[in-house]
A and B are shown apart, each in its own frame.
Chain A
Amino acid sequence: MSREEQSGVETPAEGTGRVGAGGDGGPADGGAATGITGAGTGTDAAIAEGGGGTAGAETATATVEAPGTAPDGTKAPLLEVRNLVTKYAIHRGLVGTIRRKPQQWVSAVDGVSFTLDRGEMVALVGESGCGKTSTAQTMLRMVDAVSGSILVNGQDITTLEHKEMRPLRRQIQMIYQDPYESLDPRFRVGQTIEEPMLIHGVGKDDNERHEIIVRALLRAELTPPELYIDRYPHELSGGQRQRAAIAASLVLDPELLVADEPVSMLDVSVRAGILTLLDGLRRTGKMGIVMITHDLSTAAHFADRIAVMYLGRIVEQGPAKQVVRNPQHPYTKALLSVVPKRDPRDRTVPQILQGETPNPINVPPGCRFHPRCPVAEPRCRTIDPELHVVAAAEPEHEAACILV
């Protein structure tokens, strides 16, 4: 089945609408197959490997420009965010508008760049107001960026019209923080999972869609599936609801999953299960996950790379273990020191910063962290540092501080 698809024959809607799936034929594509692979991920990879030669010839729909390959021929990463800026207008009110008060803006995201490859998990970590949620919302085009670009498989999605965006929405899915709110209470679980398929015309009849639903439930480890299909959300526990939400987002076989605090509202004993599930999903090599979290321990454990955000910027990023064991930016150091440790004998002295994160409306001049920085120097007030590599030994570890 997949050989024909790999050679570019556009098979009908049955799950192959993988716009922008890329002609590179690399393992991550899995030849698009039936779209929903359920337990069959192993076979897909094998098929993909076998059919890898027919790159480039895959037909793409009109909205995709140069799927998967950058101009210089190298394979584009799954996700590339470049200098993203997102602003929110501060409410002026009718009186303010009449009086022509200048429109003020809050830069929730002020120049954020990072990349994500298939099979990777990147954690955006930070406290409230740092811009991590706004970044996620911009990635899903729920908010529009002011400048910068978000490249999904090499295609900039910030410039697309909402109509053109629609087919791409199959590839980018989001898992929300609140399992009690993210499912429509009037839909049974099966209906919630079926909804994305109905929106995008996946599956030719009820039976086929039912099969896909069952496979999605299995993938989300809700077994036996028949037990869950007809349930209403209020009958399920928090962990079960979150798994149902994950199943609903797997149905379209997305390439990019954005998980916004996926476990913060769940009990400790179920968190690991959900996180391991997400971890397993991306390790198949087809999916990349951006995880938004405030919990550094979770990020350190599950993510490949961590990007620490503060007031709309990334202040440090790199491989998770390096960032956690050898933090360079003073904010990261302070943050790591105040994370409570499990071991009561661990008596690291917490470096508690005074005050709270300032309002993004009033971004301090120079380095945005300098008012709270324990090692700030006079020149920090005027110089706004850029992200740079901290040591030759760790080429992927960057920090935005002039002192390192």
Chain B
Amino acid sequence: MSQAIQAVETENLSLPPPKKRGNWFWEIIKGSTQAKIGLGVILFFTILGIFAPWIEPYSVHQQSGAVFCAPSAKHWLGCDDGGIDMVSLLIQGGRISLVVGFCATFVAMVLGGGIGIIAGYFGGGTDITLMRITDYFLVIPDVPLMIVLATLFGARLSIIILVIGILLWTGTARIIRAEVKSLRERVYVKRATSLGSSNRRIIFRHILPQVGPLLIANTVLTVAIAIFDETALSFLGLGDPTAITWGKIIEFGFLRTAVSAGAWWAIVPAGICVALVIMGCYWLGQAIEDALNPRLKVAHLSPRTFRLRPLVGRGSDAI
């Protein structure tokens, strides 16, 4: 008898315990086509960028075709004003664009995440001070600041990365702060405090793991903005003159009269690449955000339409 009761008591535990919860990322990817496409696009361009020197058909420093030659079997996307193969240029450009995007985002994530967590966790005066600083940075117009800083410190890649990073952390900070503030009130966090756990311990063991997924979703979305910002900067001529980025390619295209020469291949493909990567980031980031916030789902609001089933037989024959 007691064995039977024991069995019932633990019936809900008849399956073995699940593996580590770190699989949440792959669960989301598996569950959403949008996420799959987004991740695929990002990975595609990242791999292209990593293996650039081995993949590019021609060197980007040597002329390999006629000036503004049209797309052909030899040059899939034609050549630019210097006779350099567009495909190679795009691959190289993608490399730097992505590097700038990822690094700037890293800066933004560390700054924004850190400030968000500190402000949200400690509250009070710390929170107010940090948030006022955040508001200040939020309000500064991006492009003029970039122009000023680029002019002041010179247009090097590292400066560009820093500039973009400093501008982008504010959004992350706000979102993370809101989440941390609500996490702070959870019973298990209060319990940890009453147990005598230090703040540092609570933040790293309880808050950070909960906030991590949101931070990642936000990071992915920030990458999109970072790449866009870099492209804009380069297009305006403020980018590093020695680096090839997609923005630079577009800028050169315009400067070097590709438009009047009718050489759309010198401008449009680069723009498409930027657009694709940004879209990929958005899709992936949105998919993660949606998965994390179940309240965003609206399926339960559909009108009531239960199905009817006729009863076959009564009593013990009933279905």
Dominant SS among interface residues on chain A: loop
A142 touches B196 (CB 8 A): no
CB distance from B7 to the nearest CB of A (A): 11
- Cβ of B300 within 8 Å of any chain A Cβ, yes or no, is no
Given contacts A142-B190, A181-B187, contact A195 B195 (CB under 8 A): yes
A237 touches B21 (CB 8 A): no
B17 touches A169 (CB 8 A): no
B17 touches A188 (CB 8 A): yes
Selected from B187, B196, B205, B206, the residue in CB contact (under 8 A) with A169 is B196
Q: List the A side residues contacting B187 at CB < 8 Å.
A: 176, 178, 181-182
- Cβ of A345 within 8 Å of any chain B Cβ, yes or no, is no
Dominant SS among interface residues on chain B: helix
Q: Give chain A interface residues in 129-179, CB to chain B under 8 Å.
A: 140-142, 165-167, 169-170, 173-174, 176, 178
Chain B residue nearest to A223 (CB atoms) is B6
Task: Number of B interface residues at 8 Å Cβ cutoff, please give it.
Answer: 24
The answer for the CA separation of A174 and B187 in the assembled complex, in Å, is 11
| Closest 9 pairs between A and B when the two form their complex, measured CB to CB | A169-B196, A230-B17, A181-B187, A184-B188, A166-B196, A182-B187, A140-B194, A199-B197, A186-B209
Which residues in A have some Cβ–Cβ distance to B below 8 Å? 140-142, 165-167, 169-170, 173-174, 176, 178, 181-184, 186, 188, 195-196, 199-200, 223, 227-228, 230-232, 235-237
The answer for the CA separation of A230 and B186 in the assembled complex, in Å, is 23
A195 touches B192 (CB 8 A): yes
The answer for the CA separation of A228 and B198 in the assembled complex, in Å, is 27
CB distance from A258 to the nearest CB of B (A): 9
Which residues in B have some Cβ–Cβ distance to A below 8 Å? 6, 10, 12-13, 17-18, 21, 186-188, 190-198, 201, 205-206, 209-210
Selected from B21, B188, B197, the residue in CB contact (under 8 A) with A232 is B21
Chain A residue nearest to B212 (CB atoms) is A186
CB distance from A225 to the nearest CB of B (A): 12
CB distance from B4 to the nearest CB of A (A): 15
CB distance from B303 to the nearest CB of A (A): 31
Q: List the B side residues contacting A170 at CB < 8 Å.
A: 196
A200 touches B191 (CB 8 A): no
The answer for the CA separation of A200 and B201 in the assembled complex, in Å, is 12
CB distance from B183 to the nearest CB of A (A): 10
The answer for the CA separation of A232 and B16 in the assembled complex, in Å, is 11
A183 touches B196 (CB 8 A): no
B191 touches A231 (CB 8 A): no
Chain B residue nearest to A230 (CB atoms) is B17
Q: List the A side residues contacting B190 at CB < 8 Å.
A: 142
Chain A residue nearest to B24 (CB atoms) is A186
Q: List the A side residues contacting B195 at CB < 8 Å.
A: 169, 173, 195-196, 199
Q: List the A side residues contacting B197 at CB < 8 Å.
A: 195, 199
Chain A residue nearest to B186 (CB atoms) is A181
Q: List the B side residues contacting A230 at CB < 8 Å.
A: 17
B206 touches A184 (CB 8 A): yes
The answer for the CA separation of A170 and B196 in the assembled complex, in Å, is 8
Chain A residue nearest to B209 (CB atoms) is A186
Most chain B CB within a 10 A radius of its CB, from A140, A141, A169, A186: A186
A231 touches B21 (CB 8 A): no
B196 touches A200 (CB 8 A): yes
Chain B residue nearest to A237 (CB atoms) is B12
Q: List the B side residues contacting A196 at CB < 8 Å.
A: 195
Q: List the B side residues contacting A165 at CB < 8 Å.
A: 196
Given contacts A182-B187, A183-B188, A188-B17, contact A227 B196 (CB under 8 A): no
Q: List the B side residues contacting A166 at CB < 8 Å.
A: 196
The answer for the CA separation of A231 and B211 in the assembled complex, in Å, is 22
The answer for the CA separation of A196 and B202 in the assembled complex, in Å, is 12
Given contacts A169-B196, A199-B197, contact A235 B12 (CB under 8 A): yes
Q: List the A side residues contacting B194 at CB < 8 Å.
A: 140-142, 169, 173-174
Given contacts A232-B17, A232-B18, A237-B12, contact A176 B191 (CB under 8 A): yes
Chain B residue nearest to A170 (CB atoms) is B196
